[in-house]
């Protein structure tokens, strides 16, 4: 076996084992089926509510592009995150110093492996999900263009990482390139014409060449810019512990450490706001879709409040991302105290960010007083409920269960059961009567109470479970 | 120091058992980690638990520090049952877990403040002890660097400091010398010996026979979750080595592999 094939095989095996260890063992094998089912249901639901198939296909390309960016980020720059989950991890990618293979070649093989692995494991089931909407020939083309889009995201990360190895000038160039593309799009330049989606929409040699251009350019940038000898400088920080402890309520060291972790890890506290902004955009999209396409007059307060309640999951993810149980094994810290610190950190960070995003939505969409009140109650209720549900299902590791098919299915059902009825109400109950608004407020209170009960019952469950494992 | 003085400082008098276990059993699914481990460690002893990888050393430490519940058996650490009162045990002992890293996104200085707060130490004491340890292990210039950007050896120094920050009467340390350079290894060895001389107890887990032989008052050899032998290195005969005892009790196959060929000197 040649060195290239041996490395590729080792990387593919490593990827599978990493996922199966992280995400529920052999249950991970069911993940493609889950993707196909959920994707199929979503595509079918969107098309039957009047959304054009082209729009759904375009949305799938956007999702896969983001997935490619995320996959590249975790693999190429997220070593800390992987180590926090799995302990001391050395990927084949990081083993160049122990192998007679150059780092450039390893990087190229890593990208190739990722494209092949995810093309089969995630992108193929996603393409299959469109079976109810597209003919077989179009499905095959869709798979090709989705894989191509995934590669585009991955290569963008690769180019970003390569430019970052050139220090500030490299980062400045990356920023200029990004800003240039954004400005061009705003100025009306058809940027989307140079994407695999354009090739799917109108297959031709010309559109294929145009779509290949960004991938080739990004690979070329990565090849030229990458400095294999680059070592990032060690980061230092002033002593913030005492100052934060004095300012935060309760003088709780666990709370201080949690918030320091969030503020110092990649993205800082801004990542909490970024997650809320993504959900804000989803809410805005759904509200405009319901209004423009389906012709329903939506209650913006109820709709935005319910969907922005999902920020509870993303915020809890950020609050637990840097947690390492081994540290607490050496200290006299009750598991319950650590959960309590996470809950208070959530109250200090997650709730205000959710409310702020909601306030912007209410002001922007001009919600009425009763609608705004009901939406606020639902926001807080869904946040409280989801916090309890996430703690109950995932303990301190919410990011792990995203790919654990059984747990994720349980979470999906747990989210859908209260959220879907509330959203339906939000989409059909306009104009909102005071009595109906008060009923929704009561629903918010009930959801928060259920979340509290889930949380209270989860703490002893996880305390026991962590002592037995 | 008198027995009453030891007790006043939270230390057991010499001769009294700091650690006692009886028939500890623990399995992870089909894998048996502890198969009836019984041992006693008197106060004031530097005890080494020696065994091959996977013999149950780290599991023993996790059980004794209340991190892990055994399937059966009993244990007492400084007179406290770690199964019933895990937090009380960890209040009194120091722990250096195997291959553990300090939290990524705080600096060593902030981590020690955090540990000090959790353990109820006053700021002055923390500052004083951190200064002492940073000088002892030569990492003062790294006190304000994020832990994630420290080398493995520097992270080990931070974890060692954290384990001793509250001046415990008993410490559990799992492979304390790993990732340290030879100079630092000597420094840590000297510190552990002096620490024992002050009447404290050290429970050291290692698979390094030389470390166990050079450092420990008594060594327990563990294999497949059971204590199969105990020896005092100082009392080994002129023709007896800890390595031989280890190979006799742990791996007959390994002994054959390491045995010199006919006519070869040992």
Cβ–Cβ contact B72 with A under 8 A: no
Cβ–Cβ contact A253 with B under 8 A: yes
Which residues of chain A have a CB within 8 Å of the CB of B102? 327
Cβ–Cβ contact B150 with A under 8 A: yes
Q: In the predicted model, is pLDDT for residue A356 greater than 80?
A: yes
Look at residue A144 in the predicted model and tell me its pLDDT. Answer: 95
Interface probe, candidates B110, B173, B205, chain A, greatest A C-beta count within 10 A: B110
Taking CA–CA distances from B115, the nearest residue in chain A reads: A331
Furthest-apart CA atoms within chain B: distance in Å: 65
Taking CA–CA distances from B117, the nearest residue in chain A reads: A253
Look at residue B262 in the predicted model and tell me its pLDDT. Answer: 42
Look at residue B107 in the predicted model and tell me its pLDDT. Answer: 94
Rounded Cα distance between A415 and A401, Å, is 14
Taking CA–CA distances from A251, the nearest residue in chain B reads: B117
**Residue range A220-230: mean pLDDT, rounded:** 85
Look at residue A402 in the predicted model and tell me its pLDDT. Answer: 61
Query: B65–A329: do the CB atoms touch at under 8 Å?
Result: yes
Lowest mean pLDDT among A111-120, A262-271, A453-462: A262-271
Residue B158 in contact with residue B102, Cβ under 8 Å? yes
Cβ–Cβ contact A260 with B under 8 A: yes
Residue B86 in contact with residue A336, Cβ under 8 Å? no
Interface probe, candidates A232, A234, A345, chain B, greatest B C-beta count within 10 A: A234
Look at residue B100 in the predicted model and tell me its pLDDT. Answer: 81
Distances (CA, A) of A30 to A26, A122, A126, A200, A313: 8, 11, 14, 28, 23
Name which of B19, B192, B182 is nearest B92 in CA terms: B19
Q: In the predicted model, is pLDDT for residue A18 greater than 80?
A: no
Query: B103–A324: do the CB atoms touch at under 8 Å?
Result: yes
Q: In the predicted model, is pLDDT for residue B8 greater than 50?
A: no
Average pLDDT, chain B: 88
Look at residue B6 in the predicted model and tell me its pLDDT. Answer: 41
Query: A326–B102: do the CB atoms touch at under 8 Å?
Result: no
Q: In the predicted model, is pLDDT for residue A146 greater than 70?
A: yes
Lowest mean pLDDT among A76-90, A375-389, B17-31, B229-243: A76-90
Query: A87–B99: do the CB atoms touch at under 8 Å?
Result: yes
In this complex, the residue of A260, A324, A334 whose CB is nearest that of residue B110 is: A260
Cβ–Cβ contact A362 with B under 8 A: no
Shortest CA gap B187–chain A (Å): 23
Write the secondary structure of chain A as one string of H (helix), E (strand) and C (coil): CCHHHHHHHHHHHHHHHHHHHHCCHHHHHHHHHHHHHHHHHHHHHHHHCCCCHHHHHHHHHHHHHHHHHHHHHHHHHCHHHHHHHHCCCCCHHHHHHHCCCCHHHHHHHHHHHHHHHHHHHHHHHHHHCCCCCCCHHHHHHHHHHHHHHHHHHHHHHHHHHHHHCCHHHHHHHHHHHHHHHHHHHHCCCCHHHHCHHHHHHCCCHHHHHHHHHHHHHHHHHHHHHCCCCCCCCCCECCCCHHHHHHHCHHHCHHHHHHHHHHHHCCCCCHHHHHHHHHHHHHHHHHHHHHHHHHCCCCCHHHHHHHHHCCHHHHHHHHHHCCCCHHHHHCCCCCHHHHHHHHHHHHHHHHHHHHHHHHHHHHHHHCCCHHHHHHHHHHHHHHHHHHHHHHHHHHCCCCCHHHCCHHHHHHHHHHHHHHHHHHHHHHHHCCCCCHHHHHHHHHHHHHHHHHHHHHHHHHHHHHHHHHHHC
Taking CA–CA distances from B104, the nearest residue in chain A reads: A322
In this complex, the residue of B69, B106, B163 whose CB is nearest that of residue A260 is: B106
Between chain A and chain B, how many beta carbons pairs sit less than 8 Å apart?
117
Cβ–Cβ contact B168 with A under 8 A: no
Name which of A239, A214, A402 is nearest A320 in CA terms: A402
Query: A239–B101: do the CB atoms touch at under 8 Å?
Result: no
Query: B88–A80: do the CB atoms touch at under 8 Å?
Result: no
**Residue range A224-229: mean pLDDT, rounded:** 83
* pLDDT tens profile A240-290: 999 999 999 888 999 999 999 999 887 788 888 988 988 888 888 777 777
**Residue range A205-218: mean pLDDT, rounded:** 94
Average pLDDT, chain A: 86
Residue A410 in contact with residue A385, Cβ under 8 Å? no
Cβ–Cβ contact A327 with B under 8 A: yes
Name the pLDDT band for B263 (thresholds 50, 70, 90): very low
Interface probe, candidates A326, A333, A464, A468, chain B, greatest B C-beta count within 10 A: A326
**Residue range A152-172: mean pLDDT, rounded:** 89
Question: What torsion, rounded to 10 degrees, do the Cα atoms A440, A442, A447, A449 define?
Answer: 170
Query: A241–B150: do the CB atoms touch at under 8 Å?
Result: no
**Residue range A98-106: mean pLDDT, rounded:** 77
Cβ–Cβ contact B86 with A under 8 A: yes
């Amino acid at each position: 076996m040649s060195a290239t094939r041996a490395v590729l095989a080792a990387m593919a095996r490593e990827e599978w084992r990493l996922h199966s260890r992280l995400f529920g063992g052999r249950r991970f094998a069911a993940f493609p089926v889950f993707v196909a089912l959920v994707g199929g249901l979503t595509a079918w639901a969107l098309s039957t509510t009047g959304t054009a198939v082209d729009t759904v296909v375009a949305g799938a390309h956007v999702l896969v592009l983001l997935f490619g960016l995320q996959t590249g980020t975790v693999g190429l720059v997220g070593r800390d995150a992987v180590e926090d989950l799995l302990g001391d991890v050395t990927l084949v990618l990081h083993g160049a110093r122990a192998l007679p293979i150059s780092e450039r070649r390893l990087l190229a093989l890593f990208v190739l492996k990722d494209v092949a692995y995810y093309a089969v494991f995630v992108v193929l089931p996603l393409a299959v999900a469109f079976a109810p909407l597209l003919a077989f020939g179009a499905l095959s083309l869709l798979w090709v263009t989705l894989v191509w889009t995934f590669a585009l995201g991955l290569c963008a990360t690769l180019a970003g990482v390569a430019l970052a190895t050139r220090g500030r000038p490299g980062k400045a160039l990356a920023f200029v390139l990004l800003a240039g593309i954004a400005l061009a799009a705003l100025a009306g330049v058809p940027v989307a014409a140079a994407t695999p989606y354009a090739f799917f929409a109108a297959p031709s040699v010309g559109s294929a060449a145009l779509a290949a251009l960004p991938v080739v350019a990004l690979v070329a940038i990565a090849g030229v810019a990458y400095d294999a000898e680059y070592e990032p400088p060690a980061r230092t920080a002033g002593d913030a512990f005492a100052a934060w402890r004095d300012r935060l309520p309760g003088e709780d060291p666990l709370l201080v450490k949690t918030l320091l972790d969030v503020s110092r890890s990649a993205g800082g506290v801004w990542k909490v706001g970024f997650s809320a902004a993504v959900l804000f955009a989803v809410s805005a999209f759904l509200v405009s879709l319901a209004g423009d396409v389906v012709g329903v007059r939506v209650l913006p307060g109820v709709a935005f409040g319910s969907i922005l309640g999902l920020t509870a999951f993303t915020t809890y993810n950020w609050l637990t991302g840097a947690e390492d149980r081994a540290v607490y094994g050496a200290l006299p810290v009750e598991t319950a105290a650590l959960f309590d610190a996470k809950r208070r950190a959530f109250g200090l960070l997650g709730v205000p960010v959710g409310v702020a995003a909601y306030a912007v939505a209410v002001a922007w969409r001009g919600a009425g007083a009763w609608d705004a009140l009901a939406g606020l109650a639902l926001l807080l209720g869904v946040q409280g409920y989801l916090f309890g549900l996430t703690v109950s299902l995932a303990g301190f590791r919410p990011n792990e269960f995203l790919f654990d098919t059984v747990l994720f299915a349980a979470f999906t059902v747990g989210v859908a059961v209260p959220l879907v009825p509330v959203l339906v109400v939000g989409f059909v109950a306009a104009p909102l009567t005071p009595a109906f608004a008060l009923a929704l407020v009561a629903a918010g209170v009930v959801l928060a109470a259920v979340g509290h009960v889930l949380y209270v019952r989860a703490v002893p469950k996880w305390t026991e479970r962590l002592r037995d494992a | 120091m008198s027995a009453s003085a030891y007790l006043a400082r939270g230390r057991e008098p010499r001769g009294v058992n700091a650690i006692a276990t009886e028939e500890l059993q623990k399995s992870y699914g089909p894998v048996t980690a502890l198969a009836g481990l019984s041992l006693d460690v008197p106060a004031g002893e530097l005890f080494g638990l020696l065994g091959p990888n996977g013999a149950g050393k780290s599991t023993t430490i996790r059980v004794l520090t209340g991190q892990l519940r055994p399937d059966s058996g009993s244990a007492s650490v400084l007179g406290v049952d770690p199964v019933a009162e895990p937090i009380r045990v960890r209040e009194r002992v120091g722990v250096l877990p195997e291959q553990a890293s300090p939290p990524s996104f705080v600096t060593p200085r902030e981590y020690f403040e955090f540990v000090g707060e959790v353990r109820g130490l006053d700021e002055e004491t923390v500052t004083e002890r951190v200064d002492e340890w940073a000088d002892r292990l030569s990492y003062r210039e790294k006190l304000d660097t994020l832990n994630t950007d420290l080398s493995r050896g520097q992270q080990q120094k931070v974890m060692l400091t954290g384990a001793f920050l509250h001046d415990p009467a008993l410490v559990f340390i799992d492979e304390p010398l790993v990732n340290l350079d030879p100079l630092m290894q000597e420094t840590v060895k000297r510190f552990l010996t002096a620490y024992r001389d002050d009447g404290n107890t050290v429970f050291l887990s290692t698979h390094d026979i030389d470390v166990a032989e050079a450092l420990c008052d008594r060594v327990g050899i563990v294999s497949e979750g059971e204590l199969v032998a105990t020896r005092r290195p100082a009392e080994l005969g002129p023709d007896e080595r800890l390595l031989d005892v280890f190979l006799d009790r742990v791996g007959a196959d390994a002994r054959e592999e390491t045995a010199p060929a006919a006519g070869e000197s040992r």
